[in-house]
Amino acid sequence: MTQAPQRPFLVGLTGGIGSGKTLVSDTFADLGIEIVDADIIARDVVAPGSAGLAALVAHFGAGIIADNGELNRAALRERVFSDEQEKQWLNACLHPRIRQAMQQAAANVSSPYGILAVPLLIENNLIAMVDRVAVVDCPEAMQLARAMQRDGSSEAIIKNIMASQATREQRLAVADDVIDNSNSPESTRQQIQTLHLRYLKLAQAR
């Protein structure tokens, strides 16, 4: 009986809003490592013509579709924002689709190891999908300042998002590796170079 091919060695990359996950995943990509990005997959599962978008329209109605045929995220957010039942329905509809698409993408990784970039890795109980957890970390005041500058959002909105995510302590408690992104980008890249060599060895050993 032939054995199913073993999936690649996977590192789960996570961190709070404004922590600098994009710099980290881009640096791994520059080193030739394939990135499976949960945010991109989450957009793909509700792309025009997808079964995911059809399921949302069947439930919420055509009012959640923008003029260009894409999902109107603001309209959908309004529908679920203050309705816990609708929010739960939405999560139950999309999370299994996103997880399945991530597993499929991860199984197709051809670099020596893969990075699974998932902002809500801890919150959505996805740690079992990866071999190691790498947390991008910086002080919360720095997260707040960076996210406000990047998104142009108010302090209250960013604080709300931070409050809905795992705490800094919760992330650090499950981290196998911590990437300190509170200094210069060059300092962060040097840490990633060190981790890259470690992950190559771990992937090879497995």
- pLDDT per residue over 52-100, tens digit each? 999 999 999 999 999 999 999 888 888 887 788 998 999 899 999 999 9
What CA–CA distances, in Å, run from 40 to 101, 102, 133, 181?
A: 11, 10, 20, 23
Range of the domain at 103: 38-110
pTM over 0.75: yes
Is 119 in the same domain as 203? yes
Let me know if residue 163 belongs to a domain: yes
Is 104 in the same domain as 181? no
Q: How confident is the model at residue 114 (pLDDT cuts 50, 70, 90)?
A: very high
Let me know if residue 122 belongs to a domain: yes
Is 121 in the same domain as 196? yes
Is 166 in the same domain as 185? yes
Is 115 in the same domain as 182? yes
Task: Please state, in angstroms and rounded to a whole number, the distance separating the CA atoms of residues 65 and 37.
Answer: 24
Is 138 in the same domain as 176? yes
Mean residue pLDDT across the chain: 92
Alpha helices for 64-184 (secondary structure H): 73-81, 84-107, 140-151, 155-164, 168-174
**CATH number of domain containing 122:** 3.40.50.300
Q: Taking 80 as the threshold, does the pLDDT of residue 176 lie above it? A: yes
Amino acid 163: pLDDT: 87
Is 89 in the same domain as 157? no
Is 121 in the same domain as 200? yes
Size of the chain in residues = 206
Is 183 in the same domain as 149? yes
Is 122 in the same domain as 103? no
Amino acid 7: pLDDT: 80
Amino acid 156: pLDDT: 87
Is 68 in the same domain as 121? no
Let me know if residue 42 belongs to a domain: yes
Q: How confident is the model at residue 5 (pLDDT cuts 50, 70, 90)?
A: low
Rg (CA), the chain: 18
Let me know if residue 203 belongs to a domain: yes
Neighbours of 102 (CB within 10 A): 22
Task: Please state, in angstroms and rounded to a whole number, the distance separating the CA atoms of residues 43 and 150.
Answer: 20
Is 25 in the same domain as 61? no
> Domains in the chain: how many in total?
2
